[in-house]
Amino acid sequence: MLSNIGVPGLILILTLALIIFGPKKLPEIGRAFGQTLKEFKKSTKELTADFTDEIKEVKETVKIEKEK
């Protein structure tokens, strides 16, 4: 999705953001976006780790049942 924007599109988006929000508010918005993205990545990693742990437990249970 973002790979189709290109440099001119990115410049246009940044210019519009600067006009709409102003130079004082733009760093705050960027910081908030960065924190949100960081939290989203953290949650995604935790969810993936939980899912991986569950898969390992199921495999171990199946392995134990198979040995009986």
- CA distances (Å), origin 46, targets 7, 16, 34, 50, 64: 34, 36, 18, 6, 27
Q: Is the pTM of this model over 0.85?
A: no
What's 47-65 look like in SS3? HHHHHHHHHHHHHHHHHHH
Look at residues 6, 8, 27 and name the one whose alpha carbon lies nearest to residue 17.
27
**Sequential pLDDT tens for the chain (68 residues):** 556 778 888 899 889 988 998 888 988 988 999 999 999 999 999 999 999 999 999 888 888 777 76
The reported pLDDT for the residue numbered 48 is 95
